[in-house]
Amino acid sequence: MYERISKKDIIAVNQQFDKGTVINSSSLDFALSQANQSKSWLKSCAVLVRAVLIDHVFEEGNKRTAAGIMTGFFEENEVQYNPEEVAKGIAKILMKNITSIIEIERVILNAIIR
């Protein structure tokens, strides 16, 4: 299992791209509680990506923040990934309005280099 993820951690990812202004705090809090209870890094990643993309947690930079979360999980778990597939995955989740955690997990897995 990995270290607990804090709200500060997710805000710090957003601050790489924008001001870190949270506009949907309840969604982020719920996603963090779910992510920190999961034993699967993939599910934790999917829950956080879903919250940021679908629930628009931040004022600006949600797409880049979601991509940063994905790449952070890949790097933390020493998984090789294709950055282009990360970007395509973010676009796919948004365009198809994918809300299912299982479907988002599949999109995340698609970015992994096998």
* pLDDT < 70 positions in the chain: 1-2
pLDDT at position 23: 98
Query: What does pTM read for this prediction?
Result: 0.96
Domains in the chain, please, with CATH? 7-110 (1.20.120.1870)
pLDDT at position 3: 74
Rounded CA gap, 108 and 4, in Å?
A: 20
pLDDT at position 2: 58
* Nearest alpha-carbon partner for 55 in 38, 91, 39, 31: 31
Rounded CA gap, 110 and 32, in Å?
A: 23
